[in-house]
Amino acid sequence: MVNAQKRLIDHLEIEKLLTVIGGSMGGMEALQWMVAYPDRIRSAIPIATTMKHTPQQIAFNEVGRQAIMADPNWKKGRYYGSAKPAKGLAVARMIGHITYMSDVSMAEKFGRRFRADREPYKFGAEFEVEGYLRYRGDNFVKRFDANSYLYITKAIDYFNILNGKRLADIFKGLKAKVLVIAFKSDWLYPAYQSQEIVKACKLAGIDTTYCEINSTYGHDAFLLEIEEEAHLIKHFLNTVSNGNRNGA
């Protein structure tokens, strides 16, 4: 993915990017830019991400993949032109969405409230949270492809910028400034993983800033805490731009 992005900026004759920024998987791409093309960026902003998946993170993705592949309509990926594996993909999305929220955010949004149209003990969506997850799953199927989900989650699981290197050597030679943002309630990509990125940057002598936002939204915070993130990013990019003008 990053190689394709690099080819695009080559085609556009862009010599150097002011910054590369992304959250979650996008944060992994920002990290890959730092490793693969350090001379083409002035700064990087990885948000709510990690240098490599833990077994737990891989496990959640695998459950989602299994849900898709267990759908009889998947047909080993050869479902185009016929019925899509909609049920499997919907379940995969439901599993993923649970990991994006936090215990606090789910309690605040749903509590243990029942749906007004529930049918007790019929295994339908009785609780509000059940109805919400089913809605998210069904809506996701309308705009996403099951095979794409399989390959994207597998790509994330394979991502590992450590690759046997010492922490101090990962970003060796990188001259860009770095801002790392994490969220206190994010249990999918917990703050300690962002702190590991900061540690690797510091060991490499990189000018690095770490900000941990006190949000209750879980991993979804990187999509929802727009005002706080915008404030931090604006200030950071101003320091990058000013450094550029001063010949840094």
- For residues 217 and 224, the answer to whether their CB atoms sit within 8 Å is yes
Interval 34-49 mean pLDDT: 97
Q: Report the Cα 142 to chain-centroid distance in Å.
A: 21
Q: Is 148 a catalytic residue?
A: no
Q: Is 185 a catalytic residue?
A: no
Q: Is 219 a catalytic residue?
A: yes
Residue 246's pLDDT band (boundaries 50, 70, 90)? very low
Say what percent of the chain tops pLDDT 70: 98
Catalytic residue among 43, 185, 215, 219: 219
pLDDT of 138 strictly over 70: yes
Catalytic residue among 71, 186, 194, 215: 186
User: H/E element holding 96?
Assistant: helix 86-100
Q: What is the pLDDT of residue 7?
A: 96
Residue 116's pLDDT band (boundaries 50, 70, 90)? confident
The reported pTM is: 0.91
- For residues 86 and 141, the answer to whether their CB atoms sit within 8 Å is yes
CA quadruple 213, 226, 195, 60: dihedral, nearest 10: 110
Q: What is the pLDDT of residue 123?
A: 82
Compute the distance between CA of residue 168 and CA of residue 205 in angstroms, rounded to an integer.
Answer: 9
Name 100's Cβ contacts closer than 8 Å, sequence gap at least 6.
188, 218, 219, 220
Going along the chain from its start, the domains and CATH numbers come out as 55-157 (1.10.1740.110)
Q: What is the pLDDT of residue 121?
A: 80
pLDDT of 36 strictly over 60: yes
For the segment 59-90, what is each residue's pLDDT rounded down to a tens digit?
999 999 999 999 999 999 999 999 999 999 99
